[in-house]
Structure 1
Amino acid sequence: MQNIVLVGPMGAGKSTIGRGLAGLLRRPFFDTDQEIQRRTGVDIPTIFEFEGEGGFRKRETAMLESLLEQEGAVIATGGGIVERPENRELLRNQFVIYLRVPVEEQFRRTRRNRKRPLIAEAADPKARLQELFAVRDPLYQEVADLTLEGKGRRVRDAVKGVCAALQVQRPDLCQPRSEG
């Protein structure tokens, strides 16, 4: 069974929606950032501090490769996963859902979170989000099998919306996994 991989900018709801979708479909759920933290024993800002963004991105690629060995999982990725060509190649054999969220909404959702290294130190976090969106939006679209607008929905409604869209495009992926 194919994996369902969620991509999109920080604050799009990938982890929250992914966890809800995995529960609904009775599939295992993984979050690349959380798995990196779990396996290294340190948080993402610490990795950025000691290894820089390049070091973090290498870890992210290795984690993506590892998680894609799962079958039938729901995987939430970090916002920058699409920047490396090797990651985009890895995503080609998965069912990728792009949760597209306007920069205004991203800013509203992330402005108080100091654990996001790419915006925590920015002089103008909103402008930084806009820059990231300009670079990454075309890359998200390149890898996406399905794009869903993620503005202003409650989690339960967003999860149902993802499942409804899957039901139309790939009904085989929206069937709950059998127990056992």
Structure 2
Amino acid sequence: MPLADDRNIYLIGPRASGKTTLGKRLAERLERPFTDLDAAFCEKYGETIADMVGRDGWDAFRKAEAAILAETAGQTGQVVATGGGVVLLPENRDLLGKGLVFYLQADPERLAERLMADLNEEQRPKLTQLGLREEITATLAEREPLYLACAHASLPERPVDELLEFALRALTAWERE
């Protein structure tokens, strides 16, 4: 089901909200390339996010992430799963606004369950010194207004098949406008 609109489709939301899972499925259905910004970071820099953050700090990672987003945004017709903090920099929010943006909402308790089941600290390093549940709550409180401001549509927490169908219906409706 290809779309005539060749703008990039960006998936934003907190860690473990399902951006990569949905992104792969959506890209397949739309016959578009899929890009995961976290994977692109590892490929470009030859290290994990945790390695860079541990050595240079979160600000250095955010700058590197912004460069990868800018590079990705220079190509059209992709489905892009972003990192959870991509919305923190104004320049990133501007780039996201040039595409179509879905915010994957998730219950903090479900996020904690998913992260506990697959911590993957190399790709999802701790953001604060807080415990996991407290960190999720604090991070969502900071970022949710930014996610909502960037999003063309919010996808409530649902099974991936339902999210996929919701996203496809939204894209079809946008194309008619």
Taking structure 2 as the reference length, the TM-score comes to 0.89
Are 1:84 and 2:92 matched, yes or no? Answer: no
Residue of structure 1 aligned with 2:64, choices 59, 66, 73: 59
Show the counterpart of 2:125.
117
Cα offset, 1:50, TM superposition? 1.0
Residue of structure 2 aligned with 1:2, choices 4, 7, 14: 7
Are 1:39 and 2:39 matched, yes or no? Answer: no
Are 1:135 and 2:148 matched, yes or no? Answer: no
| Ranges in structure 1 where 5+ consecutive residues have no aligned partner | 173-180
Cα offset, 1:123, TM superposition? 4.3
- In the alignment of these two chains, the number of paired residues is 169
Q: What is the one-letter code of the residue matched to 1:171? A: E
Show the counterpart of 1:144.
151
**Aligned partners of 1:43 and 1:14: how far apart in 2?**
19
Residue of structure 2 aligned with 1:97, choices 97, 102, 119: 102
Cα offset, 1:39, TM superposition? 1.1
Cα offset, 1:171, TM superposition? 3.4
Q: Percent identity?
A: 35
Superimposed CA distance per residue, residues 36-82 of structure 1 (whole angstroms, 9 cap, x where no aligned partner): 00111111111111111011000000000000011110011000000
Superimposed CA distance per residue, residues 13-32 of structure 1 (whole angstroms, 9 cap, x where no aligned partner): 00110011001100011011
**Aligned partners of 1:23 and 1:132: how far apart in 2?**
31
Taking structure 1 as the reference length, the TM-score comes to 0.88
Contact 2:155 2:163 in 1 (8 A): no
Show the counterpart of 2:3.
none
What is the alpha-carbon root mean square deviation over aligned residues? 1.7
Show the counterpart of 2:27.
22
Q: Following TM superposition, where does structure 1 have runs of at least 4 consecutive aligned residues deviating by more than 2 angstroms?
A: 155-158, 164-168
